[in-house]
A and B are shown apart, each in its own frame.
Chain A
Amino acid sequence: MGKVLMKGNEAMALAAIKGGCDAFFGYPITPQNEIPEYLSYHMAQHDRIFVQAESEVAAINMVYGAAGSGARVLTSSSSPGIALKQEGISYLAGSELPAVIINVMRGGPGLGGIQPSQGDYNQITRGGGNGDYKLLTFAPETLQETVNIVKASFSLADYYRNPVMIAVDGLIGQMMEPVDLDQKIDEKPTKEKDWAATGHAKKRGHRNKIVSLYLDPYDLEKHNLKLKAKYDEMLETEQRYEMINMDHNPSLVFVAYGSMARIARSAIQVLKDAGIEVGMIRPITISPFPEKAFKHLPDSVHTLLTLEMSLGQMLQDVQIVNQGRYTLDFYGRAGGVVPETEDIVEKAKAVLKGGKGQ
């Protein structure tokens, strides 16, 4: 199959099938509805499982059950629905079960709106549910990158026995772009799921139990430390990012992900045409946050300008890794408002002039 034109949501759905997804459990919410709609038909065509659950809470608990019995499982939702899923996500992390969760983010808080947003950053990167845990979270920029990540996410989830989230804003879910669904991708080596409660106690010679309950705090702490070691491994090996226009000695560097990075990319071109070189750090993983990207910036860099479709959430991670080295500035829009290229260009020019800009 060559390149085809696809809508983000359906491309993610098809990529999940190609990534070996055995079962999908979901609930309708805008702007991700094309995912369950597409899968309701195509999962059956591939002899796989599709269930429309009674709620997001039920859907994520179905994911937990299916993942516990050894399947590759997907659920998708948008911000308010992801908030509801946090109970199950915490259980997945606590029981060390692999699963993939697609979050097509919209404006909040509360019912918010249906237009694109990146306002779930804190919910995603700071836990979301109860307890000490982390998600491996990707925030891709193009449909091609999204498709490749969705395909690989199932093997990553299996490898770490941890939920993996694909966090895109509504624009990436709704936009259309040419994609090649059969690009070769790197996958983690597959391991047998000898821990799964598959209902083969006798054949296996022992019972498998999927549990996140520990009656002894010392046992639970040991479990927490085991999880921590896993997150440390992710921090070491899974940080992904792209450095853009850094070989032109920019003094200003954007930090942006997802759709915001697309807009920033076009702003970089406009600025370049005007003789101004601006670089960009584009996080592809937001959990773990790609701190390595900040360690090897060119000497020319003076200011980091964080750009978000939220009001200073990723900025906190930039502050943490920056440790006072560079001057920090911020531009964010919220509520589903998508800035224009010119907004970013103007802000960049104001920052370079030493003003704050708007």
Chain B
Amino acid sequence: MNRLWILTGHYGSGKSEVAVNLAIDEQLDYLVDLDVVNPYFRSRSVHALLEANGVSLVESTIEKATGSDLPFISAKGSRPFHDKASRAVYDLAGTQAGAKLMRQYTDIIDEREIEFWLVVNIYRMETANEAQILNLINTLEGASGLKVTGLINNSNLMHETTEEHIKKGDTVLNAVSKKTGLPIVFTFIEEEVKTNLKFAGENRRLIRHLGKHWL
């Protein structure tokens, strides 16, 4: 696995929750929040949690301003590319609008250093089946100039998620994997779901850090 993990996907696929979980579980050095689209529920909103876990948060130039929708990107976003010993996760906003931000790093990206992972929740209407996901891969590769290197199954209906939902996501993503040769790197399993099944890739519990429990 290369040292820089860039998360892409349809918006609402759960990239930010996955990014925060990965950053904490894997004790990454940086979480780079490049979400210029969403005003709420961004990974930067848990800056204290990340800090407490030793993860450096790179976000807007206006730091810790949850009330800002100014899409300023910090120049610090390129630091992990230069800091060759570091490991980082990049959290992009959804779809092309988010993926195109990677274009600014064209000169410094070394493809041997990065993973470009597609986070998929098949309960999002736009990524419900194989054809739609293949289409999205195309779109995102076009927008970012990067090649997708792996898939993350994050299929869920939040608190209504059951084992069956994850299994269905597993089936759809396995079909995509077969067609594209892309590995399924992780499957995220909603915290409260009871299951003994083993899904494709590394299986991880998803702890919801961004959403409040009453949401």
Which A residues are closer than 8 A to B by beta carbons? 3-7, 10, 30-31, 107, 113-116, 170-171, 174-178, 262-263, 265-266, 336, 338, 340-341
- How many chain B residues sit at the interface, stated as a range, is 20 to 34
Among B38, B66, B128, B158, the residue within 8 A (CB) of A178 is B158
A115 touches B67 (CB 8 A): yes
Q: Given A3-B123, A4-B125, A5-B156, A174–B41 Cβ distance below 8 Å?
A: yes
Q: Given A4-B125, A114-B68, A265-B214, A174–B158 Cβ distance below 8 Å?
A: no
Bound-complex Cα distance A115 to B41 (A): 11
- The A interface, classified by DSSP as helix, strand, loop or mixed, is mixed
Listed residue (B128, B158, B212, B214) with the most chain A CB atoms within 10 angstroms of its CB: B214
**A113 proximity list for chain B (CB < 8 A):** 67
**A6 proximity list for chain B (CB < 8 A):** 12, 124-125
Bound-complex Cα distance A338 to B41 (A): 13
A266 touches B213 (CB 8 A): yes
Among B69, B156, B157, B211, the residue within 8 A (CB) of A114 is B69
- Sample (7) of A-B pairs whose CB atoms are under 8 Å apart: A3-B160, A31-B40, A115-B40, A115-B66, A171-B40, A175-B41, A178-B158
Within the complex, what minimum Cβ distance (angstroms) separates B157 from chain A? 4
Among B67, B68, B158, B213, the residue within 8 A (CB) of A176 is B158
* Interface status of B174 (Cβ within 8 A of chain A): no
**A338 proximity list for chain B (CB < 8 A):** 212
Q: Given A115-B66, A175-B41, A262–B214 Cβ distance below 8 Å?
A: yes
Among B68, B69, B124, B213, the residue within 8 A (CB) of A5 is B124
Q: Given A5-B121, A6-B12, A6-B125, A177–B39 Cβ distance below 8 Å?
A: no
Within the complex, what minimum Cβ distance (angstroms) separates B136 from chain A? 14
* Interface status of B197 (Cβ within 8 A of chain A): no
Q: Given A5-B124, A30-B69, A174–B38 Cβ distance below 8 Å?
A: yes
Q: Given A5-B156, A113-B67, A177-B158, A170–B12 Cβ distance below 8 Å?
A: no
Within the complex, what minimum Cβ distance (angstroms) separates B64 from chain A? 13
B41 touches A114 (CB 8 A): no
**A341 proximity list for chain B (CB < 8 A):** 213-214
**A10 proximity list for chain B (CB < 8 A):** 12
B39 touches A178 (CB 8 A): no
Across the interface, name the chain B residue whose C-beta is closest to A115: B67
Within the complex, what minimum Cβ distance (angstroms) separates A112 from chain B? 9
* Interface status of B215 (Cβ within 8 A of chain A): yes
A30 touches B39 (CB 8 A): yes
A174 touches B157 (CB 8 A): no
Q: Given A114-B67, A175-B211, A176-B12, A4–B124 Cβ distance below 8 Å?
A: yes
A31 touches B39 (CB 8 A): yes
Across the interface, name the chain A residue whose C-beta is closest to B155: A5
Within the complex, what minimum Cβ distance (angstroms) separates B55 from chain A? 24
Among B40, B68, B160, the residue within 8 A (CB) of A174 is B40
**A115 proximity list for chain B (CB < 8 A):** 39-40, 66-67
Q: Given A113-B67, A336-B67, A263–B214 Cβ distance below 8 Å?
A: yes
**B160 proximity list for chain A (CB < 8 A):** 3, 178
**B69 proximity list for chain A (CB < 8 A):** 30-31, 114
Bound-complex Cα distance A177 to B124 (A): 11
Listed residue (B40, B123, B211) with the most chain A CB atoms within 10 angstroms of its CB: B40
Across the interface, name the chain A residue whose C-beta is closest to B38: A174
Bound-complex Cα distance A108 to B12 (A): 27
Residues B167-215 near A (CB distance < 8 A): 211-215
Within the complex, what minimum Cβ distance (angstroms) separates B138 from chain A? 17
A7 touches B123 (CB 8 A): no
Across the interface, name the chain A residue whose C-beta is closest to B215: A175
Within the complex, what minimum Cβ distance (angstroms) separates A171 from chain B? 7
Bound-complex Cα distance A115 to B69 (A): 10
**B66 proximity list for chain A (CB < 8 A):** 115
Within the complex, what minimum Cβ distance (angstroms) separates A258 from chain B? 12
Within the complex, what minimum Cβ distance (angstroms) separates B168 from chain A? 11
Residues B124-138 near A (CB distance < 8 A): 124-125, 128
Within the complex, what minimum Cβ distance (angstroms) separates B163 from chain A? 16
**B68 proximity list for chain A (CB < 8 A):** 114
Across the interface, name the chain A residue whose C-beta is closest to B160: A178
Within the complex, what minimum Cβ distance (angstroms) separates A18 from chain B? 13
> 9 extra interchain contacts, Cβ-Cβ under 8 A, other than A4-B123, A107-B67, A175-B215?
A3-B123, A3-B157, A4-B128, A5-B12, A5-B123, A7-B11, A175-B41, A262-B214, A336-B67
Bound-complex Cα distance A176 to B12 (A): 8
Within the complex, what minimum Cβ distance (angstroms) separates A44 from chain B? 16
A170 touches B39 (CB 8 A): yes
Q: Given A5-B156, A176-B12, A263-B214, A114–B39 Cβ distance below 8 Å?
A: yes
